[in-house]
Amino acid sequence: MSPTALDPVAGHHDSFSLPNTNGNRGAKVHATARRSPEGGLIKVESDSTKYEEGGIRAKYTDRGADVVKGADGKFTVKKTEKNYEFFTKTKVGNVGLMLVGLGGNNGTTVLATHLANKHQIAWRTKDGLQQPNYIGSVVRASTVKLGVDPETGKDVYVPISDMLPMVHPNDLVIGGWDISGVEMDQAMLRAKVLEWDLQRQLVPHMQGVKPLPSIYYPDFIAANQADRADNLIPGDDKQSHLEQIRKDIRQFKTDNNLDSVVVLWTANTERYADIIEGVNDTSENLLKSIKESHDEVSPSTVFAVASILEGVPFINGSPQNTFVPGCIELAEKHQTFIGGDDFKSGQTKVKSVLAEFLVNAGIKPLSISSYNHLGNNDGKNLSSHKQFRSKEISKSSVVDDMVSANHILYKTATELTSENENGEIIKKGEHPDHIVVIKHVPAVGDSKRAIDEYYSELLMGGRNIMNIFNECEDSLLATPLIFDLTILAELITRIKYKSLDNKEQEEEEFKSLYSILSLLSYMLKAPLVKPGTEVINSLNRQRNALEQFLKACLGLEHSNDLLLNTRIW
């Protein structure tokens, strides 16, 4: 059963079909939940941007530089230009979001947030009446510099959600799967994330809504999750499981009159799957291994394959290696979108910013030590070593690109050689010591404590220690990211491009972007990228890439901070 309903006549969500539980309804709409004006907020007047029936055409020049290092150690730089045309379909249509892990802390908070905003349910706190909102969403609650007001000379900023036509989170139809069959009102109470007065008002909206049965392979998640596993697709046949999930996606789309669906994993962290030749190394081998119910095919990979075969985007919000090589190859073959891994909600965001600040300031971090404790079910699952190892891997790589970008502070692999225990010569660049610890403390619930120590080298052998204590509510940080990932993934399904560097390319048909959604990196700890390309963890570069892409789809150049007019006569 879907927790939201469509008006069968108008094709829009009926916000008034559910009972009014008290006088707190009808709160003023928060700025993060406002709708764009009809026809959109922005219109670009330019020869490179054309508005036509059904879409926006925009020409864009991607400028860069090729750098070649000579034998003498000097660099030769050659400026490059590549020309593209983007077409963005402007009709959003009806969009569904299917969550794997619907009954967990994140899943229940996503549904509750959606319903509270959709029905304008305000609630009482000790500080007064609280409005529902989408604070924490990059798309809904942050802005982009569009340009400069010619009269005042001041910068003009607009919400990211107004850059291009995007689905409003209030309009999503939300459903999904969970290994726990508890109805959503009880799952919300179990999660203990939201204020009681809000929960009380949401109960009538969430009663009777039960997640679809999911798949449960005990070897992939902690044994302490077994007591929740009472809502399962029967049997051990992984091919049968795959077909059932595909059927669920099709049925959800049909039942709710949807134009598109996004599937997102927000279930338990799994252990890493072993990459085995002949099992999951190619798309053909992976599909064969699913048919044979091979032990090394994880639940998340089955969901990813089902989504790929159904032609819907799949986003992995946990740290495990869902996208084994065969899964990536399958997405490429079907030109279907995949993105991951692991929500970047709190400590890792801070770490990527602070590490970049230190390195860019010419200060050398020698060690980064991170300690976490939390009490929700995610913390319980991560108390198992194999599942924690997945999280440790996703958290530990977050400073790699910042370090490798500065060969003045850190010696490169070509400068360092060492021997391993077998006497083999290995080359590895210098890197700060980096440890991550996560402990489960049930008493603190969804409130996560994160403690970081940054130990750095200063001028003339000096030392600097920075300690950060961060207390945050885990699901209230992750939930906005789920909305962002869904909104942006759906948007990208409506964007096509073609190259314009020669006459032959200009005459080609528009095509979809590459299957791996690296544009979503800002929201993810361990960004999945196109094979053979470098991972970017710098939060500033990730944000700039997203902004620049949205502007490129409007034919706009990316705003820079040169402010040349203020630096010349």
CATH number for the domain that contains residue 431: 3.30.360.10
Pair of tokens at residue 154: 């001041």
pLDDT score at 117: 97
Report how far residue 371's alpha carbon sits from residue 215's, in angstroms, rounded to the nearest whole number. 32
* Beta-bridge partners for 79: 65
Beta-sheet strand order (sheet of 495-499): 49-52, 55-69, 75-89, 495-499, 511-512
Q: Are strands 155-159 and 49-52 parallel, antiparallel or unpaired?
A: unpaired
Over 197-209, what HEC string results?
HHHHHHHHHHCCC
Show the tokens assigned to 191. 């999660």
Catalytic residue among 253, 351, 525, 551: 525
Cα 538 from Cα 535, distance rounded (Å)? 9
Q: How many CB atoms lie within 10 A of CB 175?
A: 25
CA–CA gap between residue 487 and residue 260 (Å, rounded): 11
Residue 281 in tokens:
């190394």
Other C-beta atoms within 10 Å of 554: how many?
A: 20
User: Which pLDDT tens digit goes with each residue over 201-214?
Assistant: 999 999 999 999 99
157 three-class SS: strand
**Residue 155, strand partner residues:** 148
- Fill in the amino acid letter for 427: K
pLDDT value, residue 198:
97
Which stretches does DSSP call E strand in 190-317?
212-213, 260-265, 314-316
Q: What is the rounded average pLDDT for all residues in the chain?
A: 88
Give CA–CA dist 98/4, Å, rounded: 12
Lowest mean per-residue pLDDT among 18-22, 138-142, 444-448: 18-22
249 shares a domain with 101: yes
Cα distances (angstroms) measured from residue 360 to each of 53, 350, 430 = 47, 15, 17
HSE at residue 173, side-chain half, CA atoms within 13 A, is 25
Instruction: Note the pLDDT of residue 264.
Output: 98
pLDDT tens sequence across 470-514: 888 889 999 999 999 999 999 999 999 999 988 888 788 999 999
CB 169 within 8 A of CB 94: no
Could you give the CA distance from residue 142 to residue 522 in angstroms, rounded to a whole number? 13
Catalytic one of 344, 391, 395, 551: 391
Q: What angle do CA 53, 54, 56 make, to 5 degrees?
A: 90
CA distance 415 to 429: 8
Give pLDDT tens digits for 394-438. Answer: 455 677 777 888 888 988 877 776 666 666 655 567 888 888 888
| 342 catalytic per annotation | yes
Asked if the peptide bond before residue 219 counts as cis, ω within 30 degrees of 0, the response is: no
**Of the candidates 308, 234, 233, 266, which has an alpha carbon nearest to the alpha carbon of residue 105?**
266
Q: Are residues 198 and 228 in the same domain?
A: yes
Task: Please give the Cα distance from 354 to 357 (Å, whole number).
Answer: 5
Query: Distance between CA 350 and CA 332 in Å, rounded?
Result: 33
418-419 and 425-426 beta bridge pairing: antiparallel
498 is an active site residue: no
Q: Please check the confidence at residue 107 and state whether its pLDDT lies above 90.
A: yes
Q: Which of 296, 308, 179, 176 is nearest to 242 (CA)?
A: 308
Given the residues 448, 474, 484, 551, the one annotated as active site: 448
The range of the structural domain enclosing residue 402 comes to: 347-475
Tell me, yes or no, whether 74 lies in a domain: no
Of 475, 481, 473, the C-alpha closest to 449 is 473
Whether the Cβ atoms of residue 298 and residue 218 lie closer than 8 Å to each other: no
| The predicted structure's pLDDT at residue 222 | 67
| Model pLDDT for residues 31-54, shown as the tens digit of each residue | 999 999 988 999 999 999 999 999
CB 299 within 8 A of CB 292: no
Neighbours of 200 (CB within 10 A): 15
Residue 277 in tokens: 């030749």
Q: Can you read off the two tokens belonging to residue 85?
A: 């045309």
- Packing angle, helices 347-360 and 385-396, rounded to 10: 30
Say what the pLDDT of residue 49 is. Answer: 97
Whether 66 is covered by a domain: the verdict is: no
pLDDT digits (tens, 9 = 90+) for 326-374: 999 999 999 999 998 889 887 778 888 888 999 999 999 999 988 887 7
Percent of the chain with pLDDT over 70: 88
Please report the pLDDT score of residue 28 as a whole number. Answer: 83
Same domain? 465 vs 507: no
Residue 431 corresponds to which tokens in the numbers above?
């890197």
pLDDT digits (tens, 9 = 90+) for 147-203: 999 999 899 999 999 999 999 999 999 999 999 999 999 999 999 999 999 999 999
Q: Higher confidence at residue 183 or residue 385? A: 183
Predicted confidence band of residue 14 (pLDDT cuts 50, 70, 90): very low
Q: Is residue 429 part of a domain?
A: yes
Rounded to 5°, the CA angle 502-505-508 comes to 155
Catalytic annotation present for 525? yes
Grade residue 387 by pLDDT with cuts at 50, 70 and 90: very low
pLDDT band at 12; cut points 50, 70, 90: very low
User: Quick one: 121 and 212 in the same domain?
Assistant: yes
- pLDDT given for residue 450 in this prediction: 84
Last residue of a domain, one of 415, 448, 475: 475
- Find the radius of gyration of the CA atoms of the chain: 24
Give the confidence band of 262 by pLDDT, cuts at 50, 70, 90: very high
- In tens, the pLDDT along 93-104 reads 999 999 999 999
pLDDT of the residue at 476: 93
Tokens of 37: 């004006």
Share of the chain above pLDDT 90, in %: 66
CATH number at residue 512: 3.40.50.720
User: Which of 475, 493, 510 is a domain's end point?
Assistant: 475
> Are residues 267 and 317 in contact, defined by beta-carbon separation less than 8 angstroms?
no
Of 451, 475, 499, which closes a domain? 475
> The tokens 């690296």 sit on which residue?
518
**Residues 153 and 298 reside in one and the same domain:** yes
| Residue 427 confidence (pLDDT) | 57
In-domain check, residue 563? no
Separation between Cα atoms, residue 446 and residue 102, nearest integer Å: 16
Q: Is 52 a member of any domain?
A: no
* SS3 (DSSP) at 312: coil
Is 36 part of any domain?
no
The tally of domains found in the chain comes to 2
181 & 295 share domain? yes
- 273 and 160 housed in the same domain: yes
C-alpha dihedral over 341, 345, 351, 356, to 10 degrees?
80
Residue 274 and residue 362 in one domain: no
Q: 162, 185, 341, 342: which one is catalytic?
A: 342
**Same domain assignment for residues 164 and 222:** yes
CA–CA dist 328, 530 (Å, integer): 9
Whether residue 445 sits in one domain with residue 429: yes
pTM for this one? 0.88
Q: Are 254 and 305 in contact (CB under 8 A)?
A: no
What is d(CA 360, CA 221) in angstroms, rounded to the nearest whole number?
Answer: 39
* Average confidence (pLDDT) over 554-558: 89
| Residues 337 and 383 both lie in one domain | no
C-alpha pair distances (Å), 157 with each of 144, 146, 249: 5, 6, 38
Both 206 and 253 in a single domain? yes
Please name which of 286, 283, 267 lies closest in space to residue 105, comparing C-alpha atoms. Answer: 267
- Is residue 37 situated within a structural domain? no
DSSP-derived 3-state class of residue 556: coil
Any domain includes 24: no
- Dist CA 286 CA 374 (whole Å): 36
**Position 29 confidence tier, pLDDT thresholds 50, 70, 90:** very high
